[in-house]
Amino acid sequence: MKIAIIGTGYVGLPSGVGFAEQGNQVTCIDKNVEKITKLQNGQLTLFENGLEELYKSNMAAGRLKFTTSMQEGVTDADIVILAVGTPPHPVTKEADLQYIEAATRELALYLNGYTVVATKSTVPVGTGDKIEDIIRSVNPAADADVISLPEFLREGFAIHDFFAPDRIIAGTDSLRAKQLISKLYEPFKEAKLLFISRRSSETVKYASNAFLAVKINYINEMANFCEKAGANIDEVATGMGLDSRIGAKFLKAGPGYGGSCFPKDTNAMAFMARQIGINMPLIETTITENENRYKLMAQRILKAAGKKEAVIGVLGLAFKDGTDDCRTSPAIHIIEALLQYPVRITAYDPKAMPSAQKLLGDKISYAADAYAAVKEADVIAVLTEWKDFRLLDMNRLAALTKQKVIMDCRNLLEPTTVRQAGFTYYCVGQKD
């Protein structure tokens, strides 16, 4: 099958590589010339476990191409997948559809023969209708079905999730589109392929992310309770997770959710609800409480340091482990909150230093490794759950710091080992 993917980012690139690996002819299109030039020349533009080998082998096999030309990718494609960004509007926080609209206006020009135009970007309910209208106005003769094909991959596990998805949801009533999508996903025998209406499919994505955000907010609220009540949130979460109705996932207390999806999608969901006159207090509260949590974590770090003019060694900048993505990373927000005080911050992250530097610039210092980051620190703040941090030599860390204090916002480290090295150890959801 010939597939064109528009938008070669955290969704478009792993998806393009995955579809190529399954024997399809894939052209990834992006308007970012620098990105496409790098990818054409064998250089990956983002970090994902397992992506590099598949990218290289499919390039070598001639199944994977990169271009800035919409015409080159879309003409002759059986399926055109939209994977451009839908960032939050800076004021209203609604999903900004300018990239979807611009890409659609352009792709419509080159549709040729029957084509399925599938939206993988997360888009508000009714966007499929808008895409259809644009195609009809730009190219009235186009023979295309516009479907919703929401993406559920998790950054850090994008390749794993591509090949082993829990479910594939396609929103369409068209028989021809259903046949094509069934063929595309034939190799994914284990995954449930669910055809529903386009509007339901668009809603599933927001409903899923909002639910997970509420679940994280719930366990964080419970962590606050545990801190005062003398219980341990990790033990409580383990006990809760054994109930199959609740499930163990997304019950990890921490610094609040972040990343490029949950904050954006909860805000977009709340905006959509307000637009149609629906009250969604659960989601509204989750958004506010999550934003407050970043500030709460900053306060706890300063309290652990015992002073406002603290030297802080930060471990972790990415919004979670396994990715270099710092978009709406809790670490970045916590650092921004700390910078309201006369602190000095030095940070280290195994993968996300360049993307963090783009956001924070010279407001903080950057270290070559974890040990360099904590030198002379009054407090070490663990902000991303990189497994590597667990393997650090705690005695060496302790010897480098000014005060042996750790605030572990991810409950990542092994408390006994840390305390044996002489640290005072603070974490989330346990009495100090």
List residues near ligand NAD by CB under 6 A. 6-12, 29-32, 35, 83-86, 99, 102-103, 120-122, 151, 153, 155, 260-261
Q: How far is the CB of 170 from ligand NAD (least distance, A)?
A: 15
- Cβ proximity to ligand NAD: between 38 and 402 the closer is 38
* Residue 18 CB partners (closer than 8 Å, separation 6+): 54, 159, 162, 163
Residue nearest to ligand NAD (CB): 9
- Cβ proximity to ligand NAD: between 103 and 379 the closer is 103
- Cβ proximity to ligand NAD: between 86 and 290 the closer is 86
Q: How far is the CB of 37 from ligand NAD (least distance, A)?
A: 13
76 sits in the region (left: phi over 0; alpha: psi -120 to 50; else beta) called left
- Cβ proximity to ligand NAD: between 121 and 384 the closer is 121
* Residue 334 CB partners (closer than 8 Å, separation 6+): 255, 294, 297, 298, 301, 381, 383, 409
- Hey, what are 314's tokens? 């930060």
- Hey, what are 252's tokens? 């990890």
- Hey, what are 183's tokens? 């063929």
Q: How many helices (H) and strands (E) does the chain have?
A: 17, 14
Q: How far is the CB of 213 from ligand NAD (least distance, A)?
A: 14
Quick one: which H or E segment has residue 192?
strand 192-196
What one-character-per-residue DSSP string does 284-315 give?
HHHHHHHHHHHHHHHHHHHHHHTSSS-EEEEE
Q: How far is the CB of 408 from ligand NAD (least distance, A)?
A: 25
Question: Where does 281-416 show beta strands of DSSP type E?
Answer: 311-315, 344-348, 365-366, 379-382, 405-408
Tokens 């309201």 belong to residue? 340
Question: Is 261 annotated as catalytic?
Answer: yes
- Cβ proximity to ligand NAD: between 23 and 126 the closer is 126
Amino acid, res. 307: K
CA distances from 263 to 17, 87, 213, 315 (A): 27, 10, 8, 22
Q: How far is the CB of 115 from ligand NAD (least distance, A)?
A: 17
User: Do 41 and 66 contact (CB within 8 A), yes or no?
Assistant: no
* Residue 230 CB partners (closer than 8 Å, separation 6+): 431
- Cβ proximity to ligand NAD: between 105 and 295 the closer is 105
Q: How far is the CB of 39 from ligand NAD (least distance, A)?
A: 10
Q: How many residues does the chain have?
A: 432
What are the strands of the beta sheet with 79-82, ordered from one edge?
Answer: 64-67, 25-29, 2-6, 79-82, 115-119, 144-148, 167-171, 192-196
Q: Which of 28, 261, 326, 409 is catalytic?
A: 261
Q: How far is the CB of 94 from ligand NAD (least distance, A)?
A: 13
Amino acid, res. 181: I
Residues noted as catalytic: 261
